[in-house]
Structure 1
């Protein structure tokens, strides 16, 4: 029996929710207790919510297992919004569940390097002020699709508030942080704005077309 098959069989045995001793699981799998301990560590490291320790036994708590999902950007946006709202409620259990679920989502999202890492960090709760940014998403998405210039009010990392006219190019998700990549008319350069720091977004009557150096393909992080 391959190790993958053995791990699957152990997982199937644990799904009844009962407490299983290490010796019993080892006997069923045909391995030593020491090997069984390593298998349990492997399952736990892979995200299986195993409860128990050596010498006491192991069990699985009641869980819901979802099949692999492929989310569209709009679906991910809706999920992120729901998590942000849940994390702001007064119920500590619901807030903890929202943060735990966000961690699981982060663990399976594609990792993308961010050049200025400090720009995406939060000092306290990672969900702080999230709903403010989500309010601008419909306007931003519509402007990207229509290739329409925007005037935004943005708060920088140092707390300065500024108004910018931009060409919105792309919204992206960076481990719980939504960002907008745009061409800034003031700086005459590409800029990446955190959505939670955009307080207003106004669509302007002026449309834009591709110009050399100002497109998303020209952006160099």
Structure 2
């Protein structure tokens, strides 16, 4: 978590106006107690009305208004996916409202270029009936950081294969989740069912932007990639 995000999280946890000890805050924020002390000192130096001291606890005195949107990548992904589902299952007005809301979210994404609609990496058509496997968060991270992932994959007939792929997007469907990727082995787009991925390893190798191998290219010719 970036320090700026952690400071905002700390403010949010102190807004209940209840005395909270540093040890509890450290556990909630997954940092050391010393880091909590430093963060509180930083906020106090910036003028936030935080009362208390080490060993006794801290509380926020008065109201503090946070920025309208302070979302982590995971929170932003959750909101984006929810709105994507509404675009497909809502009525026309609700679907248009979801499109508008997603545009506003794009405008607040300050730490990377704003993605075009066809480049968003979380897509949806139907509500998934299967919970995404634990490694899905690693795949989402690989998509954000443009990192190659190594898959141990089982096809429908049970044949196993090792694949190095460029992860491009995730899509929910009636039976679960799909990974849309560029397969370096096949040198083509491939779609992998997450429930058939036996192992997933996030490599340190990154991949460059190549228009013909991006999610937007897949979407423009969707239906053409051969099934894995």
Task: Give the TM-score category using the shorter length.
Answer: 0.3 to 0.5
TM-score by length of 2: 0.41
TM-score by length of 1: 0.42
Find the structure with the greater CA-based Rg: 1
